């Protein structure tokens, strides 16, 4: 009789725990999905002569995705090219077309730093921009992409970007040194100046 009194509450708690877990996991599909058309661009943040903007797009067309993301980051009326743009696209995106669109939009004034993210989407300051609903499901991901951009313009910061291929250098450390040297040179500084 004592065993039943001890086991019964444990069974009830276990059943309740399984039920709550099922309810919580079922609601996990109701995630926030950002779409540029639904959100009004907010004015870029300004701190001591520095302007920062963020934008995103879930458009599968690289040209349209870049236009949407840039419009959100800079605002609809701002045509000024930023000093620096940090760009991340979901894996599977056409990076060459995205880079060409950004270069055409901003010219040589803007430095770019970018890469790819997870195949399911990209993260922004407003939340996740979802590209694919299911993780790593080839059929669910096919043709679905997302793009995020952060633009920076500053009177107080000097930007420089550099890259180096591992195959061009005898070690990873020397490749890193080569990339750093290119970034410093592009910023118009000397290797002896502290950043």
pLDDT digits (tens, 9 = 90+) for 85-105: 999 888 888 889 999 999 999
Q: What is the pLDDT of residues 124-151, one digit of tens each?
A: 777 777 777 655 555 544 557 889 999 9
Read off the pLDDT of residues 9-48 as tens digits, 9 standing for 90 and up: 565 666 655 555 555 455 444 444 555 545 555 555 555 6
Helix, strand, coil share of the chain (percent; to 5):
40, 20, 40
- Dihedral angle over CA of 92, 119, 66, 71, nearest 10: 170
Task: Tell me if the pTM is above 0.85.
Answer: no
pLDDT score, position 29: 47
Query: Helix, strand, or coil here: 123?
Result: strand
């Amino acid at each position: 009789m004592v065993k039943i009194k001890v086991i019964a509450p444990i069974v009830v708690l276990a059943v309740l725990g399984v039920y709550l877990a099922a309810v919580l996991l079922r609601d996990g599909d109701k995630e926030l999905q950002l779409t540029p058309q639904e959100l009004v661009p907010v004015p870029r943040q300004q701190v001591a002569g520095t302007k920062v903007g963020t934008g995103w797009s879930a458009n599968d067309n690289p040209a349209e995705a870049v236009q949407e993301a840039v419009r959100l980051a800079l605002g609809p009326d701002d045509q000024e090219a930023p000093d620096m743009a940090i760009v991340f696209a979901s894996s599977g995106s056409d990076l060459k077309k995205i880079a060409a669109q950004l270069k055409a939009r901003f010219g040589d004034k803007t430095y770019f730093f970018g890469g790819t993210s997870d195949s399911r989407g990209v993260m922004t300051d407003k939340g996740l921009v979802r590209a694919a609903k299911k993780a790593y499901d080839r059929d669910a991901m096919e043709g679905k992409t997302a793009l995020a951009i952060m633009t920076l313009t500053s009177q107080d910061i000097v930007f420089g970007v550099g890259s180096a291929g591992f195959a061009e250098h005898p070690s990873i450390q020397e490749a890193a040194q080569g990339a750093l040297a290119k970034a410093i040179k592009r910023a118009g500084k000397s290797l002896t100046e502290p950043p």
